[in-house]
Amino acid sequence: MFQIDFSDQGVIAVEGRLDAAQAPRAQEFLDQVDGPCVLDLYKLEYVSSAGLGVLLRTHKRLMGTGDGLKLINVNHHINDIFTYSGFDKLFEIEVAER
């Protein structure tokens, strides 16, 4: 199951598995977002290259206006994927304390 929506704190909460089947839905949601944007990935269990593409595309669009995506509460599996992909050099990332 995959979910993406604004949380009470105004950040965007992403849950479940962000795979190739769900990437279009995530992209459609994030295409509506403007300004600085924080993604809370605490409940994101899995991301594949399709999901990474969504994050990169959105980050590049937002950086065009000087903003960008910040990724918080990233679990260690997903942080490994970010590191292998070089995303640790492109995004501001906060790893989850657990």
Partner 1 sequence: MQQEFSRSFDQLNDIVAFTEQVFTDQGIDPSTRYVVDLCVEELFVNMVTYDTETDRDILIEMNACPGGVEVSLTDYGVERFDPRNAGTVDVDAPLEQRTPGGLGLFLVLKMVDSIHYEYRDRNSKITFVARSKEETEEHNVSD
Binding residue for partner 1 (CB under 8 A) from 38, 53, 70, 94? Answer: 53
Cβ atoms of 93 and 80 closer than 8 Å: no
Binding residue for partner 1 (CB under 8 A) from 56, 72, 95, 96? Answer: 56
The token duo for 77 is 């599996």
**CA-wise closest residue to 18 among 66, 88, 86, 71:** 71
49: Cα separation from own chain's centroid:
12
95 binds partner 1 (CB under 8 A): no
> Considering beta carbons, is residue 8 or 89 the nearer one to partner 1?
89
> Considering beta carbons, is residue 3 or 85 the nearer one to partner 1?
85
